[in-house]
Amino acid sequence: MTDTSTQLREPWANFSRQQEAGKFGIWVFLASEVLFFGALMLTYTVCRIEHTEAFAAAGRETNIWYGTANTAILLTSSLTMAMAAQAAAAPERFRRLVLGCLLTTAALGLAFLVVKGFEYKEDIDKHLVPGSHFALPQAGAQLFYGLYWLITGVHAVHLSIGIVLVSRLILLGYLRKIELRENPEVEVTALYWHLVDIVWIFLYPLIYLPGRAS
Amino acid sequence: MTTPNEKTSSASDLWRLNLLIWATLMALLFASLALAYVPMGFLTPAAGIIIGFAKAGLVVFLFMELASSRALIWLAALSGLVFVAALFALTLADVLSRSG
């Protein structure tokens, strides 16, 4: 077992209670995040019901290869994040494995943002920003792209926060300022990262798949 | 109490299980991509969403280890789901019942 006394924080009397509280706290936070993104997806759903054809036409204009590549990148980052969290929680010493998986996770997160940047550039070049020079004639298509920029933008902010949190663990763990083994901060960061992945799992069929069969 | 991690003691065991989950997630991703091009009426968009739920389920239950978590954690996780379900149900009850 790790000496957990250095990781024990106030107001908890023992480390296992602290671990439980940390895990419960992040799950409550994630539930609030589900409501936040849920409200945005509900707005999308209502607009899509009202403008079915326009949403199909707008969906066809998205770049499915960027979207699919980014989904694969985030799913892979969830694999490395899960490995980091499980290796950190294991009784054996897996310090190098934990650090390697955290580093890969952060790199995949950055790769997602780079691909998204290329995609945003292409969207701007194709005049897919709502406004007077918008490329598509349907009014509903402007609603689709208004929601596209809003939701993917908010998601990118969440992912950027995740990259900062993972990078912090890598830096402090590498410098041995914190003990990664059995550290609740690793589990809490991993749970946040997975939620950001789950949000994208639902955004993928909503943004990139509409209108492909018609 | 024994946690799942205490049962899987080697790094290769951890990799084996998690790579299997990852491969399933990737297969589901490509299935949703392929099905999006198949004209099946309302089932085409439904397939993408249903596969999304399957992928999210794998991440929540296995990567986030909700399956082996205590009841208190389930309560927190379900609270988010219940409130989102209420949000969708009440709003769509209005939108879908409007005439014209």
Give the pLDDT confidence of A19-31 residue by residue, as tens digits: 889 999 999 999 9
**Which has the closest alpha carbon to B84: A122, A30, A143?**
A30
Assign A176 to helix, strand or coil: coil
pLDDT at A4 over 80: no
CA A6 to mean position of chain CA atoms:
31
pLDDT at A33 over 70: yes
Contacts of A121 (CB under 8 A, 6+ apart): none
pLDDT in tens, B33-72: 999 999 999 999 999 999 999 999 999 999 999 999 999 9
Contacts of A28 (CB under 8 A, 6+ apart): B76, B79
- Which pLDDT band, with edges at 50, 70 and 90, does A182 fall under? confident
CB-hemisphere CA count at 13 Å for A15? 12
Chain B segment 51-70 residues within 8 A of A by beta carbon are: 51-52, 55-56, 59-60, 62-65, 69-70
The CA-CA-CA angle for residues A78, A2, A23, to 5°, reads: 45
Domain locations in chain A as residue ranges: 93-214
Count A/B contacts: CB-CB distance under 8 Å.
Answer: 146
Are A38 and B87 a contacting pair at CB < 8 A?
yes
Q: Tell me the DSSP string of chain B.
A: ---HHHH--SHHHHHHHHHHHHHHHHHHHHHHHHHTTS--TTHHHHHHHHHHHHHHHHIIIIIS-GGGS-HHHHHHHHHHHHHHHHHHHHHHHHHHH---
**What integer pLDDT is reported at residue B9 of this predicted model?**
59
Structure tokens at A99: 């650090």
pLDDT in tens, A83-108: 999 999 988 889 999 999 999 999 99
Q: Is residue B34 within 8 angstroms of chain A, CB to CB?
A: no
Name residue B20's amino acid: L
**What integer pLDDT is reported at residue B47 of this predicted model?**
96
When scoring A20, A50, A86, A203 by the number of chain B Cβ atoms within 10 A, the one with the most, hence best to mutate, is A86
The mean pLDDT value for A54-62 works out to: 97
Write down the residue that tokens 């908890």 correspond to: A12
- pTM equals 0.93
Are B3 and A198 a contacting pair at CB < 8 A?
no
Are A194 and B49 a contacting pair at CB < 8 A?
no
Q: Domain A93-214 belongs to what topology?
A: Four Helix Bundle (Hemerythrin (Met), subunit A) (1.20.120)
Mean pLDDT of chain A: 94
